[in-house]
Chains A and B, each alone.
Chain A
Amino acid sequence: MLKLNINGRPHQVDVEADTPLLWVLRDQLQLLGTKYGCGVGECGACTVHVDGEATRSCITPVSAVLGKKVRTIEGLAGKKALHPVQRAWIAHEVPQCGYCQPGMIMAAAALLEKNPKPSAAQIDAAMDNLCRCGTHQRVREAMAALASGEPSGGGRHGS
């Protein structure tokens, strides 16, 4: 049995130590928000936080997170309020199909925790998650609003 700490809760799973964290989350723990997109760390749909670092869970063996704190999209919001990135994503209507967005949001949250006011260039460089629908413009808008400290990340429906 491997002992994990996910979203502040202890879990025990009976899997091979080289099982990628992604599949422990999805198939063992039914935490289905974290997505499979490529399996090779290219697309970022599987991004979670491991001790606060944005981490591609599809290429992270579960053995590498023992004793560490894992946070998934399900654990991002507080008990009473959404995370500011989630609020901004809603206000800017960022998602289209939405499949890549949990990973995108986790990458955004990790970036902002390290650097609350990233420049446009820093946002472009740090956010290398892939999106097929083409939400790029709104990811940038939502991030720019968060970086500028707008309460609830501004929004598109103000007029």
Chain B
Amino acid sequence: MEASRRNFLKATLVLGGGLCLEFSFPLAAKTAAQAAPTEVSAWILIHPDDRVVVRIARSEMGQGTFTALAQLVAEELDCDWDRVSAEFASPNESLRRNRPWGPMLTGGSLGVRSSQDYVRRAGGAARAMLVAAAAARWQVDAAACSVERGVIRHAASKRSLRYGEVAAEAARLAPPSEVKLHEPKDWKIAGKSQHRFDIPDKVLGKPVFGVDAALPGMVHASIAQCPVFGGRLERVDSSAVDQLRGVKKVVRAGDFVAVIADSWWRADQALQKLKIEWDFGEYATASDASIMAMLREGLADDKLPQAKKSGDGASALASAARTLQAEYFSPYINHATMEPQTCTAWFKNDGTLELWTSTQDGEASLATAAKTAGLPPEKVEVHKMMLGGGFGRRGGSQDFVVQGVTIARALPGVPVKLMWSRAEDMQHGFYRPASLVRMTAGLDAEGRLIAMHSVIACPSILKVLMPEAMKTPIDFTAVRTLSDMPYNVPHQQVDYAQRNGHVPVGFWRAPGQQNAYYRECFIDEVAHATGKDPLALRLELLAPGDKNRAVLEAAAWAAAWSKPAAAGRHRGIAVSDGFGSYTAMVIEVSVSAKGEVKVHRAILAIDSGHVVNPDTCRAQAEGNIAFMLGATFHQENTVKDGRIVESNFHQFHLLGLGEMPQVEVLLVPSGGFWGGHGEPGALCVAPALCNAIFAATGRRIRSLPLKHHELRPA
């Protein structure tokens, strides 16, 4: 593809060309020789030499939104894609200008799908203003002008003007009241694989991440938080460290203590030498066993609120010819972003506060910093840095900002960079909730699935992070995929036992995904019990025209499901919609006589309606599969004496390179809607894998991770 090839050449020439990301470090002097760009609208800056800068409100954590949103703006702007770059919109400016860029929260696979309409309109509006400015200069009708790659032409008079020549005049015009958007079938810039803007800097090791903040006179902080959630700092004896070289200050606050020093290493070494006494609080004896007992008590509660009831609900089970029942469990899992939590804060002498942080929500970071500092929000600025992984950890919870600001307040006038150690990060997360689910299926005399009753015991993420969003006793993130099954089962009931415990829970990539594991493995159990093919049963239960059918059929076709697997290979299948998209997966495994599982292939079919950057969508699919294979095989966070046991990657294994299967991604956008890509690819991995292992071994995997299971063929 021609445009992509040019972009690739552009990308390889970045060396020596300077950063394409414009982070505002005071020390990073911008080239003065460049004339200032014109702000045509809040979204679009145009330089006199036609370079276009698109402002992006959402965060970039590797999911590609930074580039995809620019593609959508450029598509409607009709500019030259080779001359487009992007920068983050400022949270402070957003506040002062009444949020011209909309929300900055980046989660729920919403980055593109929930802003696509207004960013495209912003591009189209700017195009109309630029054309109107040229038409006014020529004194011709704007409708008689055409645009191609940032050049406006008036054919009758054979005149042309570049965007950079009329940007200043365009900026003075009012935006049009109506904008006609390009039809996706006519897209030239969107819908194509474009190289991501952020990759060259990342490959060169440029300082783009939160932990890379570097300011004049900056000092460093390492933190120790109370090992038991809910505990408090009692007292600290810092006499052993006060005189150590480089140590500036010991900061005591609430549930943590931090050491500030002239390097992070000296800060952390001093931190280890502190004599800290904690009040562990009321959860000091909590354990895996007490958490399991809490969940089990939830399942036994006979007065639970219902998240769904259709037909006769659970009472229909009484009339079933046969019932099946199974209990499934998932553990707590940490996000374990490769970049630990971090926040650089600087109380400046002019009474303002500046932050540099890796955040999924720049506005929430600003509000949290202002509240913590007791400053009006207008006096706070947040510089949004590239995130070294997010996965939901850095959005709703702004704990790192509270700490960064609290610590920096101890040294006014001095920038302080807080970075957590890996152990702090592993043991003070907002974990994927542990959950225990009991499902009961009712079959009629012909073996048809007529009733399904699910009881879900699971901590509530919303209760922890967004209590205002809990309008009923039901947390939708805890029940979805079971409460909104696409399967035609006449009698359904879902009961929810909110059992919160003391371990903080949070939005972990594809929140609620555990239910896809439970549902799709249990449907596999029903298929096995009734002698049906797992694909055929699913298709039987899905209405004609349901988009889940099309992705199932696509994945099954790519896997040649109708033919036997190769000798020694076994397959599992699963389907789930979520985060606006429809996904299905086939995983192919072999299992050795010793019980070693090798995953050979993972085929994901995904229908997201529209696709803005196909290659980035494939990357998200590959990433979701690696992320979830790691979780399904290896990962859990366990609790002993009220605290998380695992402290580092030796106890929390990520998927190794050699464990990665060949991934095949089928993008099958059917148009007419906008679905996400950051999370949906996660949904089917655990069930497709466990169903494949059942096909290979006859063993049902009803709890994770797999490392606890004997997997020798039964």
Bound complex: CA of A64 vs CA of B60, how far in Å?
37
> Does A2 sit at the interface, judged by CB under 8 A?
no
Knowing A27-B264, A38-B649, A132-B337, the reply to whether A139 touches B623 (Cβ < 8 A) is no
Segment with Cβ contacts to A, from B152-160, B207-215, B223-231: B207-215
**When chains A and B are docked, how far (Å) is the Cα of A26 from the Cα of B62?**
23
B507 nearest CB across to chain A (Å)? 16
Q: Does A119 contact B (CB under 8 A)?
A: no
For the complex, what is the distance from the CA of A34 to the CA of B419, rounded to whole Å?
15
Any B CB within 8 A of the CB of A77: yes
A125 and B654 alpha carbons, distance in the complex (Å) = 15
- Which residue of the partner chain, among A19, A93, A99, A128, contacts B657 with CB atoms under 8 Å? A128
Q: Is the CB of B657 within 8 A of A32?
A: no
| CB-based nearest A residue for B623 | A134
- Residue in A closest to B63 when the chains form the complex, CB atoms: A96
Q: Is the CB of B338 within 8 A of A100?
A: yes
Check A138 against B203 for contact (C-beta < 8 Å): no
Mask for B637-671, Cβ within 8 A of A = 1, else 0?
A: 00000000000111000111110101100000000
Q: Which of A26, A102, A124, A138 contacts B658 (CB 8 A)?
A: A124
Which residues in B have their C-beta under 8 angstroms from that of A55? none
Known: A35-B388, A37-B338. A30 touches B203 (CB 8 A): no
Within 8 A of B (CB), among A46-101: 72-74, 76-77, 81-82, 86-87, 89-91, 93-101
Nearest-Cβ distance from residue B685 to partner chain A, whole angstroms: 11
Q: Which residue of A lies closest to B647 (CB)?
A: A40
CB <8 Å contact, B203 and A37: no
Per the bound structure, the CA–CA distance linking A70 and B193 in Å amounts to 37
Interface range on chain B: under 10, 10 to 19, 20 to 34, or 35 or more?
Answer: 35 or more
With A97-B390, A98-B62 given, is the CB distance from A90 to B200 under 8 Å? yes
Q: Which of B220, B338, B419 contacts A131 (CB 8 A)?
A: B338
Stretch at the interface among B8-16, B162-170, B302-310: B8-16
Q: Does B439 contact A (CB under 8 A)?
A: no
CB distance from A86 to the nearest CB of B (A): 5
Q: Assess whether B1 is interfacial by the CB under 8 Å rule.
A: yes
Q: Is the CB of B12 within 8 A of A95?
A: no
In the complex, the answer to whether B214 meets A32 with C-beta atoms within 8 Å is yes
User: Given A36-B419, A130-B654, A132-B336, are A42 and B648 also a contact pair (CB < 8 Å)?
Assistant: yes
* A114 at the binding interface (Cβ < 8 Å): no
Residues in chain B near residue A96, CB distance under 8 A: 61-63, 619, 623
Interface string of A8-19 (1 = CB under 8 A from B): 000000011001
Q: Are A81 and B207 in contact (CB under 8 A)?
A: no
| A interface footprint on B182-220 (CB within 8 Å = 1, 0 otherwise) | 000000000001011011101111111101101000001
What is the 8 Å Cβ interface bit string for chain B, positions 612-639, against chain A (1 contact, 0 not)? 0001100100111111001000000000
Cα(A75)–Cα(B28), bound, Å: 20
**Contact residues of B between 552 and 602, Cβ < 8 Å to A:** none
A96 to B626, CA, bound (A): 13
Cβ A99 vs Cβ B339 within 8 A: yes
Contact B658 A40 (CB under 8 A): no
Given contacts A72-B205, A74-B205, contact A134 B338 (CB under 8 A): no
**Quick one: closest B residue to A74, CB to CB?**
B205
CB neighbours of B198 from chain A (8 A): 95, 98
Residues of B within 8 A of A73 (CB): 204-205
From known contacts A102-B205, A157-B5, infer whether A35 and B211 are also in contact, taking CB-CB under 8 Å.
yes
Pair B657/A42 contact, Cβ less than 8 Å: no
8 Å CB contact of A32 from B202, B212, B623 = B212
Tell me, in angstroms, the Cα distance from A43 to B425 when the chains sit together.
14
Tell me whether B323 is interfacial, beta carbon within 8 Å: no
Q: Which of A23, A96, A102, A128 has the most CB of B within 10 A?
A: A96
Query: Judging by beta carbons under 8 Å apart, are A38 and B205 in contact?
Result: no
Q: Give Cα distance in the complex from A51 to B615, angstroms.
A: 37
**A109 shortest CB reach to chain B, Å:** 12
How distant is the Cα of A93 from the Cα of B231 in the complex, in angstroms?
44
B265 A19 Cβ-Cβ under 8 A = yes
Partner of B622, one of A77, A82, A101, A137: A137
The reply to whether B663 and A137 form a contact with Cβ atoms under 8 Å apart is yes
Task: Tell me if A125 and B389 are in contact (CB < 8 A).
Answer: no
Closest residue of chain A to B262, judged by CB?
A27
**B502 part of interface (Cβ distance < 8 Å):** no
- With beta carbons under 8 angstroms apart, the residue of B15, B199, B208, B656 that contacts A81 is B15
CB–CB B389/A133 < 8 A = yes
Q: Mark B386-427, 1 if CB is under 8 A from A, else 0.
A: 111111000000000000000000000000000101100000
Alpha-carbon separation in the docked complex, A127 to B659 (Å): 12
Q: Given the complex of chains A and B, what is the CA–CA distance between A95 and B388 in angstroms?
A: 11
Q: A33-B204, A136-B622, A159-B1 are in contact. Are A90 and B12 (CB under 8 A)?
A: yes
Note all chain A residues with C-beta closer than 8 A to B656.
124, 128
Is B627 in contact with A139, judged by CB distance below 8 angstroms?
Answer: no
Q: How far is the CA of A77 from the CA of B245 in the complex (A)?
A: 36
Distance of A91 Cα from B8 Cα, bound (Å): 7
Residues 226-285 of B contacting A (Cβ, < 8 Å): 245, 262-265
Q: Does A5 contact B (CB under 8 A)?
A: no
Check B654–A132 contact: CB distance below 8 A.
yes
B340 interface residue (CB < 8 Å to A): yes
Question: What is the chain A residue whose CB lies nearest that of B263?
Answer: A27
A148 within 8 A of B: no
Is the beta-carbon distance between B62 and A95 smaller than 8 angstroms?
yes
Which B residues lie within 8 Å of A15 (CB)?
263
> Is B372's beta carbon under 8 Å from chain A?
no
As a 0/1 sequence over residues 34 to 68 of chain B, the CB contacts with chain A under 8 angstroms (1 = contact) are: 00000000000000000000000000011100000
Given contacts A33-B205, A90-B200, A131-B338, contact A40 B193 (CB under 8 A): no
Q: Is the CB of B265 within 8 A of A156?
A: no
B203 and A101 contact, CB distance less than 8 A: yes
A36 and B465 alpha carbons, distance in the complex (Å): 28
The CB with the most chain B CB atoms within 10 A, among A90, A98, A137, A152, is that of A98
Q: Cβ of A133 and Cβ of B8 under 8 Å apart?
A: no
Contact B623 A39 (CB under 8 A): no
With A and B bound together, what is the CA distance between A15 and B269 in angstroms? 13
B697 within 8 A of A: no
- Tell me how far the C-beta of A37 lies from the nearest C-beta in chain B, rounded to whole angstroms: 5
B115 / chain A contacts, CB cutoff of 8 Å = none
- Also in contact, A82 and B650, with CB within 8 A (given A28-B263, A97-B62, A98-B199): no
Set of chain A residues within 8 Å of B338, measured between Cβ atoms: 35, 37, 43, 45, 97, 99-100, 130-133
Contact of A134 among B245, B337, B622 (CB under 8 A): B622
Indicate if B4 sits at the interface (CB-CB under 8 A). Answer: yes
Name A95's contact: one of B203, B212, B265, B658 (CB within 8 Å). B203
In contact, A39 and B199 (Cβ under 8 angstroms): no
For the A-B complex with A33-B206, A37-B339, A132-B654 known, give 15 more contacts whose Cβ atoms are closer than 8 Å: A23-B263, A27-B262, A30-B214, A35-B338, A43-B338, A73-B205, A77-B204, A90-B200, A121-B658, A133-B389, A133-B627, A156-B193, A157-B5, A157-B8, A157-B615
Cross-chain pairs A/B with CB under 8 angstroms, 19 sampled? A23-B263, A23-B265, A33-B206, A36-B211, A37-B338, A37-B422, A40-B649, A42-B650, A74-B205, A95-B198, A98-B203, A99-B338, A101-B202, A124-B656, A125-B658, A131-B626, A134-B655, A157-B8, A157-B195
Task: Please list the 10 inter-chain residue pairs (A to B) with the smallest Cβ-Cβ separation, ordered nearest first.
Answer: A33-B205, A134-B626, A98-B202, A96-B62, A99-B388, A73-B205, A97-B62, A134-B623, A23-B265, A124-B658
